[in-house]
Amino acid sequence: MHALLVIDVQQDFCPGGSLAVAGGDEIVEGINALMSDFEAVILTQDWHPAGHSSFASSHEGCKPYEMIEMPYGSQVLWPDHCIQGSTGAQFHGNLILDRADLIIRKGYNPAIDSYSAFFENDHKTPTGLEGYLRTRSIDRLTLVGLATDFCVNFSAVDAAKLGFDVEVRLDLCRAIDLNGSLDAALTAMKAAGVRALSE
């Protein structure tokens, strides 16, 4: 079975949001149109408690986009975003939700961030998505969403490492591109065996 994995198409990652990705809203119509082509549709949702450890505001003297070392490794400090129950955490208003078989929330552990749909940023604490896919005999994944160089990248690489057949529709993703992060992500996905498609 072939599933569409829609990564974090949420208000805070779209223009006007607290961590806006340029053109983040431009992909919504295309994603909606794609949903009927798949046997399953899964949405992910960043879902942080207030005061999350990945927020710059949680670290005195730190600014957004600075890097710090956490117990699990290097961590970008972000503006406060996708706080549980907030408007910014909601999916983009035009995204079709009715087609979703599953909505998986991530980043709710206050002590650790979670870019990937499969693992928290320690790369070992699972979200449960792998088990869901296995029990439904889903072995192919197409990823779309936000942002190409962070949550899409980490999700795609983890999926490939777990043995799934993975492709990313770059035309239906948008990137933050923080200090060369987009080129690094494209290189990492290619090295993991992920196919990056423009359409």
Express each pLDDT in 113-144 by its tens digit.
999 999 999 999 999 999 999 999 999 999 99
Residue 150 pLDDT > 90: yes
pTM of the model: 0.96
Whether residue 199 is predicted with pLDDT greater than 80 in this model: the reply is: no
SS (H, E, C) the chain: CEEEEEECCEHHHCCCCCCCCCCHHHHHHHHHHHHHHCCEEEEEEECECCCCCCEHHHCCCCCCCCEEEECCEEEECECCCCECCCHHHCECCCCCCCCCCEEEEECCCCCCCCCCCCECCCCCCECCHHHHHHHCCCCEEEEEEECHHHHHHHHHHHHHHCCCEEEEEEEEEECCCCCCHHHHHHHHHHHHCCEEECC
The whole-number pLDDT of residue 189 equals 97
When pLDDT is cut at 50, 70 and 90, the band that residue 12 belongs to is: very high
Selecting among 46, 151, 158, 173, the annotated active-site residue is 151
Cross-sheet strand order for the sheet of 140-146 = 102-106, 40-46, 2-7, 140-146, 165-174, 195-197
Q: Is 82 a catalytic residue?
A: no
Catalytic residue among 80, 106, 113, 149: 106
Report CA Rg, the chain: 16
Q: Is 106 a catalytic residue?
A: yes
Q: What is the pLDDT of residues 74-106, one digit of tens each?
A: 999 999 999 999 999 999 999 999 999 999 999
**Predicted local confidence at residue 152, as pLDDT:** 98
Mind listing the pLDDT tens digit for each residue in 36-80?
Answer: 999 999 999 999 999 999 999 999 999 999 999 999 999 999 999
Tell me: the pLDDT tens digits for 165-191? Answer: 999 999 999 999 988 999 999 999 999
pLDDT band at 198 (very low <50, low <70, confident <90, very high): confident
Residue corresponding to tokens 């957004």: 64
Out of 8, 12, 25, 158, which one is annotated catalytic? Answer: 8
To the query of whether residue 8 is one of the catalytic residues in this protein, the response is: yes
pLDDT at site 145: 98
| Amino acid 81: pLDDT | 98
